[in-house]
Amino acid sequence: MDYYSSPRWTYEIADCSMPMTFDTYSNCSFGCRYCFSQFQRALGAGKENYLHKEVKWVNVERVKRMFLNPDSSQFGEYIKARKVMQWGGLSDQFDGFERKYGKTLELLRFFKEIDYPLCFSTKATWWTKDERYMELVRGQKNWNFKFSIITLDREKASVIEQGVPSPEERLEAIQRIAEAGAGGATLRLRPFIIGISTPSYIELIERAAKCGATALSTEFMCVEQRSRCLREQMPVFNELCGFDFYEFYRKYSVSSGYMRLNRNVKRPFVEKMKAACDKVGMRFYVSDAHFKEVCCNGSCCGLPYSFNYSRGQFCEALQLAKKNGVVSWSEIAPECKPFLSFNIGKAEGYNMKSSENRAKFFGMTMFDYLHYLWNNPQEGQSLYTMFEGIVSPCGKDENGDIIYRYNG
């Protein structure tokens, strides 16, 4: 059989607390109109297979061998350090495909046996009522579950998230997970869509807290101008939001191509979300590049500080700068160097974006690449550019590496 290849290193590796990301299936049975995965997968030779919901799954035995014999893959040092693996990066591991094939269940049994730390991202709910899954979840303190809900409006949700359980069903799933005594349930208010999320987002936070969610992670929707699939969805977004969605992004974004709304547009929503979380006692996190500094700790996906996530990344550096006023490369380098020593050109699943980038960084390790980004503030993934000046260069240390000052 032709299996799906996973895990992979995320493109957001520079500022991600869980850079090793895993998917059980090559496709998702849900049909969310905002899904960024379709912008990547609905291209090239695989487009028809993806759009027609053809699916492959991982080789379960190969994945088991990877964890039982870590030195057999470039993820070995990460696995040996028992860093949290993100499960559900491009597909939903508990969707309709899982209901049919059950490959996630096979792997859950294995990960339960080896007690490996995991963080899940899902919209599915059926499995939280299935004892085969819940007996594994119950009491598993190093498993955290994120449930994506972008609005309480049942009708809007059914249009924009086709095939997905209602917001109410997902809140009930949060409650079942919270009552299972695992590593916590997180409300994943992502993507936050102005005009769709805005009428009900404060109530959503309050209801999630009552159901037992202990954290909120949010990120504003970005619009990929080059995606034909997304452009075809614009009439639906216009109708649901009540304005010209595409033109709104063109007018208020800080860049072209991949359009990201500017900081001032987002500010009032972020401030209200944080105030609501403070009121109900939920930890607050922003996965968006803007306002990442307000995260409760260096894992913008909402993991508590007690989890063994990667602290060798720029979101953690941002938190150190916020705490101490300045931050140096030497404060995060020892954490990431052991598991990023592989050649960047051979990084599993890592998107180099262009042949030019592949040639430019040929011969570097992934650790070298992060070091390069640290010392080149003009690069898009550098601390200075990514976080829009919240930290800025203020000198160099004894090794010649840039020191960043927190500007708040």
pLDDT band (50, 70, 90) for residue 224: confident
pLDDT band (50, 70, 90) for residue 397: very high
Instruction: Give residue 37's pLDDT.
Output: 66
Task: Determine contact, residues 45/108, Cβ cutoff 8 Å.
Answer: no
Cα 261 to Cα 231: distance, rounded to the nearest angstrom:
17
What is the chain's alpha carbon radius of gyration, rounded to the nearest angstrom? 20
Mean pLDDT, residues 111-124: 98
Task: Determine contact, residues 362/352, Cβ cutoff 8 Å.
Answer: no
Mean pLDDT, residues 173-188: 98
Amino acid making up residue 386: M
Instruction: Give residue 50's pLDDT.
Output: 61
Lowest mean pLDDT among 64-68, 169-173, 250-254: 250-254
pLDDT tens for each residue of 129-152: 999 999 999 999 999 999 999 999
For the chain, which domains are there?
8-218+281-294 (3.20.20.70), 314-406 (no CATH)
Mean pLDDT, residues 371-389: 95
Cis peptide preceding 7, ω within 30 of 0:
yes
Amino acid making up residue 299: S
31-231-150-47 Cα dihedral, nearest 10 degrees: 30
HEC assignment per residue over the chain: CCCECCCEECCCHHHCCCCEEECCECCCCCEECCCHHHHHHCCHHHHHHHHCCCCCEECHHHHHHHHHCHHHCCCHHHHHCCCCEEECCCCCCCCHHHHHHCHHHHHHHHHHHHCCCEEEEECCCHHHHCHHHHHHHCCCCCEEEEEECCCCCHHHHHHHEECCCCHHHHHHHHHHHHHCCCCCEEEEEEEECCCCCCCCHHHHHHHHHHCCCCEEEEEECCEECCCHHHHHHHHHHHHHHCCCHHHHHHHHECCCCEECECHHHHHHHHHHHHHHHHHHCCEEEECCCCCHHHCCCCCCCCCCCCCCCCCCCHHHHHHHHHHHCEEEHHHCHHHHHHHCCCEHHHCCCCCCCCHHHHHHCCCCEHHHHHHHHHCCCCCCCCHHHHCCCCEEEEEECCCCCEEEEECC
Cα 21 to Cα 167: distance, rounded to the nearest angstrom:
26
Smallest CA-to-CA distance from 87 within 64, 133, 122, 120 is with 120
Instruction: Give residue 228's pLDDT.
Output: 80
pLDDT band (50, 70, 90) for residue 38: low
Flag whether pLDDT at 46 surpasses 60.
no
Task: Determine contact, residues 313/332, Cβ cutoff 8 Å.
Answer: yes
Higher pLDDT, 96 or 351: 96
Higher pLDDT, 136 or 256: 136
Flag whether pLDDT at 40 surpasses 60.
no
Mean pLDDT, residues 40-68: 79
pLDDT band (50, 70, 90) for residue 53: confident
Instruction: Give residue 48's pLDDT.
Output: 62
Q: Cα–Cα–Cα angle for 67, 71, 77, nearest 5°?
A: 80
Instruction: Give residue 408's pLDDT.
Output: 81
Instruction: Give residue 200's pLDDT.
Output: 98
